[in-house]
Structure 1
Amino acid sequence: MLKVTAALFAAVLATSVTVPMFSPPVREVERDVPYVPTPQPVVDAMLKLAGVRSSDYHIDLGCGDGRIVVTAAKRYGTRGLGVDIDPKRISEARFNAEVAGVLTQVEFRRADLFETDIARADVLTLYLLPSVNMRLRPTILARLKPGTRVVSHDFDMGDWPADQRLRVPEEGSDIYLWIVPANVAGRWRVTGPAGRSHDLQFEQRFQRLDVGGAQGRVTGDRVTFTLPDGARFDGRVQGETITGANGWRAVRIGD
């Protein structure tokens, strides 16, 4: 019987049909978010938008029956963690991972998503509620490393604009992608290729950057801006320094 079920589950992943669910007799619990499974076409689009790679560690908060974590592991070879408060969903997720043959790649844990350490994630997926996304937002910005991709089904992050937004018309769903920006707000001493230095104040609002009136952007650990005199800066953040590809360097000197 297990061989038949495994074949069916593999066919489901290949054809983007909704993952079958196993329902053990476990009592329901109170949730922050009602359980609504993500349709498989949306799962596929979320993982594609995130640019998932085999080297990624993937965390899904509110994982339900585990279909996003299982699909990422099966299709892209990722390792991953799914978190849900409901033991019934965790039982389903483990069963589905076993059927798909990815149980050694993934873990499903009954836990409060607000108490889960997400720092390890390269990709974080969500299908929660706007209020829950907003409660998670400070943790996402503080704990996730620059460049981590955050993908949410249907719900945004308030005034943190998405880096990309995708419509899945057949499901009537929207998908949002954010790339966690490095925190570069503060005062920096910038030294150009000729050795001349000057101090600049970086004002940052999520991925948007203002440097002395010039507009720039922070994408993961990459910082770009152009000064009024036409000088263009394009560099990578490494702790308290930014190293530019065009021969400049910046060191943080204050808030």
Structure 2
Amino acid sequence: MSFKSFIPYQRRSVHAVIVTGVLVTTLGLVSIAHADPQAADNVEVASSIELDVPYVPTPEPVVEGMMEMGAVSEGNRVIDLGSGDGRIAIAAAKLGAQVLGVDIDPERIREADENAEREGVTDRVEFRQEDLFDTPIADADVLTLYLLPTINQQLRPKILTDMAPGSRVVSHAFDMGNWASDERRTIAGRTVYLWHVPARIEGEWQLMQGDTLVNLTLSQRYQEVRGVAQRDGQAMTVGNARLLGDRIAFTLADGEHYQRFYGRVDQDRIQGVEPVEALAGPGEPVEADWQAERES
């Protein structure tokens, strides 16, 4: 993907047949328990657990859309919080990802394990009974969620702190409060959101373009970036800034020259990854190589 495609995502609708999810009632669990002694133990344990999120299955077309939006592929590490019957985790495993599904309900874990075995992906997916707030997520390339708005917002600080810049978060139905999504789609009448965990770029930077030094000050609110700059004591305008995970694009203008920069953020360093674009100004050659280092 070219870094020059830094434009706002367009909403898209995907039309598909909805697979209606059915809630498992207490009566249903008791019926299973009569047929399966292990299930009876699970029912007893489950009845003593206070669930943060009710179990509602995600329709299969939505699962497929979540995989596409999260760009799940072979070799990815995927963590599904509130994994239920395992359908999201299993879909990721079928694409070659290594997957962890987490649910606090032992009955859902038992069901998910059975489904994984039936689908032949037990070597690529693990289901674990634990509180989702206790699950380490730092190594996840993709985090999938179908929880509740309040739970998403409680998870938000952990996502922003622990997950690597550029990793993806895909949520069925619920957003992240004031952290706007990078993409939103309607799939089979359901809303699905995508975020790229933003790099931390706030601070004072020294940008070198050839022999030219630009002092750049950036502020940040999630993926929203603002800035001011100076070159040789002359104020410059920082405009049209866009942060997508660890990728950044912005325009520098001094009233005569307008140049577009594309870079990748790596902690306290930004490395140019595309030639600088001369958007307007005199026709002298543009120094294409650039980099920036954070001072504070």
Q: TM-score, normalised by structure 2?
A: 0.76
The 1:48–1:18 alpha-carbon spacing in structure 2 relative to 1, beyond 3 Å, is farther
Aligned 8 A contact 1:16 1:44 in 2: no
Map 1:106-125 → 2, pairs under 5 A: 106-125=125-144
| 182, 185, 199: which one aligns with 2:199 | 182
Asked if 1:225 corresponds to 2:250, the answer is yes
Distance 1:95 1:158 in 2: 35
> Which amino acid counterpart does residue 117 of structure 2 have in structure 1?
E
> Where does residue 201 of structure 1 map in the other structure?
217
Map 1:61-80 → 2, pairs under 5 A: 61-74=81-94, 76-80=95-99
Distance 2:64 2:118 in 1: 19
CA-to-aligned-CA distance 1:60-104 (integer Å, 9 cap, x gap): 000011110011112x11110000111111111111111110001
Aligned 8 A contact 2:200 2:267 in 1: no
- Structure 2 unmatched runs, 5+: 1-16, 33-38, 229-237, 276-288
> Where does residue 63 of structure 2 map in the other structure?
43
> Which amino acid counterpart does residue 206 of structure 1 have in structure 2?
Y
Aligned 8 A contact 2:204 2:294 in 1: yes
* Pairwise CA distance, 1:239: 2.1
Q: How many residue pairs end up in the alignment?
A: 236
> Which amino acid counterpart does residue 62 of structure 1 have in structure 2?
G
Aligned 8 A contact 2:21 2:57 in 1: no
Q: TM-score, normalised by structure 1?
A: 0.87
* Pairwise CA distance, 1:16: 9.1
* Range 76-85 or range 20-29, more displaced: 20-29
> Which amino acid counterpart does residue 248 of structure 2 have in structure 1?
V
> Where does residue 266 of structure 2 map in the other structure?
238
CA-to-aligned-CA distance 1:142-187 (integer Å, 9 cap, x gap): 111111110000000111111110001x3x2100000111111111
* Pairwise CA distance, 1:232: 1.7
The 1:18–1:56 alpha-carbon spacing in structure 2 relative to 1, beyond 3 Å, is farther
Aligned 8 A contact 1:59 1:124 in 2: yes
> Where does residue 164 of structure 1 map in the other structure?
183
| Same amino acid, percent of matched pairs | 49
Aligned 8 A contact 1:18 1:40 in 2: no
Aligned 8 A contact 1:211 1:227 in 2: no
> Where does residue 253 of structure 1 map in the other structure?
295
Aligned 8 A contact 1:214 1:225 in 2: yes
CA-to-aligned-CA distance 1:202-228 (integer Å, 9 cap, x gap): 111111111215230111111110023
Aligned 8 A contact 1:181 1:207 in 2: yes
Secondary structure, aligned partner of 1:138? helix
> Which amino acid counterpart does residue 36 of structure 1 have in structure 2?
V
> Which amino acid counterpart does residue 227 of structure 1 have in structure 2?
L
| 64, 86, 97: which one aligns with 2:116 | 97
> Where does residue 7 of structure 1 map in the other structure?
none
* Pairwise CA distance, 1:198: 2.4
> Which amino acid counterpart does residue 194 of structure 2 have in structure 1?
L
Secondary structure, aligned partner of 2:93? helix
The 1:32–1:137 alpha-carbon spacing in structure 2 relative to 1, beyond 3 Å, is same
Map 1:80-95 → 2, pairs under 5 A: 80-95=99-114
Secondary structure, aligned partner of 1:224? strand
| 74, 78, 83: which one aligns with 1:54 | 74
* Pairwise CA distance, 1:18: 7.3
Secondary structure, aligned partner of 2:63? helix
Aligned 8 A contact 2:202 2:220 in 1: yes
